[in-house]
């Protein structure tokens, strides 16, 4: 299905960036046929809208520059205020306290994966060997598993990463076939992947990038775009919640950021996009204790009854802050065990062998 990409900024979506990361040297646009057809963009030249990153960056930077002298009033939409009244956590009410999972309130199915198999496109090597996973609104799922078990591949296949081809199985997201959608469409539909190794985008300021991404998502939702001033107001509390210095907005996306700063920036992007299904790949890696708490608090602050989180992690420490509804153990390309948060504690105590022995 061809993506309709009216706003230029729609090119700068998560899957597009994913493609950029892996096609840095290539100056071409490629299409692959098949169930998971994906578009691939070049990093330094044309994106799929025909715009250049540099052009987009310059255009938006000028707009931001024009507004930079104004002070930043905190913009809280009426919708956000209503959410606050309903008692849902908002950016303004972030706390360090872990949010309890709400297993009793099962929402609609958001994502249903059945028998998913996928291979590396370049080599044909099979990585996913029949993944089954059902995620309802309001849930937090954690995927754990030994190195190389296929966790990151699963997340990348779901967002349409061009390195992989789906060979079997289905993924239904919000009632629609996910694999019928281009990566950009998946992003616009609220699917978000925080990268394990966030990509740097030279020549594009963080502020420009965030506003472009935000407005692309808003356009897809039929909402009016935010002007530079409005956007700054929208962004400020999110930045504050992550304890990020506003100077990060003027820097190029992730360029020169430390590992922890990149992770915070990923969550800032998640907050801006207000994604419905957030896939967080090892957001705890490389974080100091304070950063871990900030990032976890920010994620908890974004949780709502109609969205969901899929976290990939190796450690219980993240789950101390973001309480999972379900914990899954992945091995050799499939989920071999599912349980509640006690599964992660068992794993922490005895390792993978102990889990297998107890099965
Ligand atoms: N593009 C690729 N080309 C070749 N092999 C790949 C590719 N992507 C994944 N693999 C292989 O697939 C297996 C699963 O990788 P994946 O990154 O999904 O594991 P993981 O469970 O996320 O591991 P970790 O916990 O170390 O991050 C690994 O053996 C990896 O080398």
User: Residue 145: CB within 6 Å of ligand 1?
Assistant: yes
Q: What is the CA(347)–ligand 1 centre distance, in A?
A: 21
> What does the pLDDT look like over 257-286, one tens digit per residue?
988 899 999 999 999 999 999 999 999 988
Sorted by where each begins, the domain ranges of the chain are 8-358
pLDDT band at 75; cut points 50, 70, 90: very low
Nearest ligand 1 atom to alpha carbon 122: 3
Count the neighbouring beta carbons within 10 Å of the beta carbon of residue 223.
Answer: 12
Average pLDDT (73-100) is 29
**Domain covering 8-358: architecture:** 3-Layer(aba) Sandwich (3.40)
Q: With b meaning 16 or more CB within 10 Å and e meaning fewer, what string describes 78-108? A: eebeebeeeeebbbeebeeeebebeeeeebe
Average pLDDT (329-336) is 96
Count the neighbouring beta carbons within 10 Å of the beta carbon of residue 146.
Answer: 14
Average pLDDT (301-307) is 93
Q: What is the CA(116)–ligand 1 centre distance, in A?
A: 16
> What does the pLDDT look like over 183-219, one tens digit per residue?
999 999 999 999 888 889 999 999 999 999 999 999 9
pLDDT at position 341 over 70 = yes
> What does the pLDDT look like over 6-26, one tens digit per residue?
222 333 444 444 444 444 333
Of residues 234 and 71, more confidence is placed in 234
What pLDDT, on a 0 to 100 scale, did the predictor assign at position 205? 94
> What does the pLDDT look like over 104-128, one tens digit per residue?
557 899 999 999 999 999 999 999 9
pLDDT band at 355; cut points 50, 70, 90: confident
pLDDT at position 30 over 80 = no
Candidate from 124, 151, 315 with most ligand 1 atoms within 8 A of CB, to mutate:
151
Q: What is the CA(157)–ligand 1 centre distance, in A?
A: 12
Q: What is the CA(137)–ligand 1 centre distance, in A?
A: 28
What pLDDT, on a 0 to 100 scale, did the predictor assign at position 46? 28
Average pLDDT (336-355) is 90
Of residues 337 and 12, more confidence is placed in 337
Complex ipTM value: 0.99
Pairing of strands 39-40, 334-339: unpaired
pLDDT band at 58; cut points 50, 70, 90: very low
Percent of the chain with pLDDT over 90: 60
Which residue bears the tokens 């990409």? 5
Q: Return mean pLDDT, the chain.
A: 75
Percent of the chain with pLDDT over 70: 70
What pLDDT, on a 0 to 100 scale, did the predictor assign at position 353? 83
Q: What is the 3-state secondary structure (H, E, C) of the chain?
A: CCCCCCCHHHHCCHHHHHHHHHCCCCCCCEECCCCCCCEECCCCCECCCCCEHHHHHHHHHHHHHHHCCCCCCCCCCHHHHHHHHCCCCCHHHCCCCCECCCCCCCCCEEEEEEEEEEEECCCCCEEEEEEEEEEECCCEEEEEECCCCCHHHHHHHHHCCCCEEEEEEEEEECCEEHHHCCHHHHHHCCEEEECCCCCCEEEEEHHHHHHHHHHHHHHHCCCCCCCHHHHHHHHHHHHHHCCCCHHHHCCEECCCCCHHHHHHHHHHHHHHHCCCEEEEECCCCCCCHHHHHHHHHHHHHHCCCCCEEEEECCCHHHHHHECCCEEEEEECCEEEEEECHHHHHHHHHHHHHHHHHHC
Q: Which has the closest alpha carbon to 338: 347, 350, 349, 326?
A: 326
For residues 196 and 74, the answer to whether their CB atoms sit within 8 Å is: no
């Amino acid at each position: 299905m061809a993506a309709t990409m009216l706003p230029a900024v729609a090119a700068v979506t998560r899957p597009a960036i994913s493609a950029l990361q892996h096609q840095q040297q290539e100056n071409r646009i490629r299409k692959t046929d098949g169930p998971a057809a994906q578009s691939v963009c070049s990093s330094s030249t044309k994106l799929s809208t025909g715009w250049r990153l540099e052009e987009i960056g310059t255009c938006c930077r000028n707009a931001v520059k024009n507004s930079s002298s104004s002070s930043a009033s905190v913009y809280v939409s009426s919708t956000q205020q209503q959410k606050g009244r309903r008692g849902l956590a908002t950016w303004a009410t972030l706390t360090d306290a872990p949010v309890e999972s709400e297993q009793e309130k099962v929402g609609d199915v958001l994502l249903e994966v059945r028998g998913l198999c996928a291979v590396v496109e370049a080599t044909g090597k099979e990585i996913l060997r029949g993944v089954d996973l059902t995620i309802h609104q309001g849930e937090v799922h954690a995927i754990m598993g030994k190195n190389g078990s296929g966790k990151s591949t699963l997340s990348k296949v779901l967002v349409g990463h061009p390195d992989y081809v789906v060979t079997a199985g289905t993924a239904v997201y919000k009632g629609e076939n996910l694999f019928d959608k281009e990566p950009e469409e998946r992003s616009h539909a609220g699917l978000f992947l925080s990268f394990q190794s966030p990509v740097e985008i030279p020549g594009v300021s963080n502020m420009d990038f965030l506003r472009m991404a935000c407005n692309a998502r808003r356009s897809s939702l039929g909402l009016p775009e935010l002007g530079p001033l409005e956007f700054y107001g929208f962004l400020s509390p999110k930045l504050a919640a992550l304890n990020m210095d506003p100077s990060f907005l003027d820097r190029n996306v992730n360029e020169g950021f430390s590992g922890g700063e990149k992770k915070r920036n990923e969550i800032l992007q998640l907050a801006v996009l207000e994604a419905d299904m957030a896939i967080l790949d090892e957001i705890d890696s490389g974080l100091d204790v304070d950063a871990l708490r900030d990032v976890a608090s920010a994620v908890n602050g974004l949780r709502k009854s109609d969205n969901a989180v899929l976290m990939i992690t190796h450690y219980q420490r993240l789950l101390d802050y973001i309480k999972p509804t379900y914990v899954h153990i992945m091995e050799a390309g499939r989920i071999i065990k599912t349980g509640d948060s006690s599964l992660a504690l068992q794993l922490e105590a005895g390792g993978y062998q102990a889990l297998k022995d107890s099965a």
